Amino acid sequence: MLKLKENCSALSFKNIIKDDSTIGILMYGAGSQEHYKSEIDLLESCCISSPEYAEEFRSQINSYRQILDDPNYREGLYPRGIEKIIQQIIEPMSLWEAITSLTTDHFFASENYFRSLVDVSLTFLLSSEIAKLFNHKPADFALYNIWLTSKLKIQASDLVTSEEIEFIDNQFEVNGKRRDQRLTRLLNFRNKQIAHNSASDETQKDDFVYVTCFILRVWAILDAAYSPNCMPRPIHLDEHLFDQFYKIMSSVELSHVKAERLKFINELLSACSKDLVTGTYDGKRPFAELRVTVKIT
């Protein structure tokens, strides 16, 4: 559960006790009540079938019950897990990348008012979601704060070089002169044009791709620190996303979009294992690779 410090009542990053269990909830998100109840039932049966591990099982049962009994959890005040935000960045970005890659005369792939409307809407959506991860106030449940809290653990684990850690610190530094201009431009767009109706430099597609790849690499490092022995987790894509697309696309176009979307996602996910300084690959894989299959009917 997200345990509050003594004399604190409001749930915020600043007010919680930051142990590994807490960081895990902030990273991966809390489960549903049904999930925890199901896990408790399973673990209780395991206590009977494997009594030699009963103490460990009961400890996990107790942690689940603490979450279920937590008023902040019951009232829906737990923040979204960072993993969920990352997936909600990848999903619309990859869909629109795939759709706009169509070389047919489909109206989605041509210049028109509707296309411009979706472009603007998606830009606002992605900017807002990405900016949440870079929020720097002490109370914010942001990737920025999780990174700062975890840095000593990461340094001690020898997961990455000191040069890459320094590079990441520079990117997170608010108003830092060594921050990449693509990240600066994107965050300025969100903070000025979206939040305050002020002028800012125009964002570009490369800005979103670069920043998303940076986020994925930071996430991969954190995941390796907190879940070192876990298998790569699947990206939970919307199973019904394409249900109605047959009404506006031919089967060939739809197959193309599906394949290009998965291809783009896998290209993004490759950033998880790519050193931000040297460009070398170290094999970190918090997410499982998606298999591209194309079926034309």
pLDDT by residue, tens only, the chain of 297 residues: 999 999 999 999 999 999 999 999 999 999 999 999 999 999 999 999 999 999 999 999 999 999 999 999 999 999 999 999 999 999 999 988 888 888 878 877 778 888 888 888 888 899 999 999 999 999 999 999 999 999 999 999 989 999 999 999 999 998 878 999 999 999 988 876 666 565 556 778 899 999 999 999 999 999 999 988 777 777 766 667 788 888 888 889 888 988 999 999 999 999 999 999 999 999 999 987 766 444 444
Q: How far is CA 244 from CA 117, 262, 266, in A?
A: 20, 19, 24
Q: For 108, which DSSP code?
A: G
Any idea which residue has 């870079």 for tokens? 134
Give the pair of three-digit tokens for residue 218.
């930071």
**Cα dihedral value 153, 154, 155, 159, nearest 10:** 140
CB 211 within 8 A of CB 182: yes
Q: How much is the pTM?
A: 0.89
- Domain borders along the chain are 1-79, 82-273
Residue count (the chain): 297
